[in-house]
Structure 1
């Protein structure tokens, strides 16, 4: 797996962000039984920057914890059949499935870890697992979709032994 990791802003999370991200992304893709090597872009940023992105791309005028930008369309969430037919789904040089981009607010990671009473590592990992599910076609707009996603998030976190 290729992870393009970038961090902006002076604030640092008290963990090895790149190493933990790689572990969670790989664990989530293994859980989803992704048959391909994959590529993911991850940007850790600040509330101000993610607020701008949230407004620009979603029309929501406030910072958020995580944004996901999937590269591919999935007829059925988490089903990788048919991706070969999609133009630009795979990197032309590496052959890796290009999943898309994840953007995380470091300030939100710290605040939500405190708010929910768990570790920074747990919050960071949860946001990445949540986002990977978005990158492979899952959503939570409808109640049924939300329940499916929440179950998958819990199962991924349990497999990674990152508990509340």
Structure 2
């Protein structure tokens, strides 16, 4: 089950919520995984607080992943719950404008990226980064939202 919620005071559209869910579902399908994911849309202040508390980085980022099970890639924990994503709605809007595409597309990308982190992908080393980028391109293509050659991918944008 994919649950998309919003912090009090935020009002994402049904279309924005739907693209987030599609991004999560596509990433899970591509990895042949099932499981629950909760996505919480948050303010810049809240994502900064979470980033400082959990990563020791006192700055706003676009997406944070909180796996239910730490360690190597997981197929699905016994209860089927994979973890949570926090997505900063204002940062996503800024990035969408900067890269010249709709907010819904940016939200789908962040959902894909965050879900891959829940499944054990990372971009701390060059080989990990290339593997994650390739998977992101594949999933976005499946969604009909291909990554343009000149468009920065997640690791070039900052965040996790």
Mapped to 1, the partners of 2:9 and 2:15 lie a distance apart of 15
Runs of 5+ consecutive residues of structure 1 not aligned to the other structure:
84-88, 92-96
The corresponding residue for 1:27 is 26
Number of the residue aligned with 1:61: 58
**What stretches of structure 2 of length at least 5 have no aligned partner?**
149-160
User: 1:44·1:106 contact (CA, 8 Å) conserved in 2?
Assistant: yes
- 2:37, 2:82 within 8 Å by CA — same for their partners in 1? yes
TM-score, scaled to structure 2: 0.84
Rg comparison, structure with higher value? 1
Superposed, which structure 2 residues align to 1:138-149 within 5 Å? 138-149=121-132
Can you list the C-alpha shifts for 1:102-127, whole angstroms capped at 9, x where unaligned? 00000001000011111111110000
Q: Distance in 1 between matches of 2:102 and 2:130?
A: 24
1:18: which partner in 2? 17
- Return the offset for 1:62: 0.6
Question: Partner of 1:156 in structure 2?
Answer: 139
Residue pair 1:74, 1:137 contacting (<8 A) in 2 also: yes
Distance in 2 (CA, whole Å) between partners of 1:53 and 1:155 is 29
The structural deviation recorded for 1:19 is 2.0
Q: Which residue of 1 aligns with 2:96?
A: 113
Aligned-pair RMSD on alpha carbons?
1.8
Could you tell me how far apart the structure 1 residues matched to 2:99 and 2:16 are?
20
Q: TM-score, normalised by structure 1?
A: 0.82
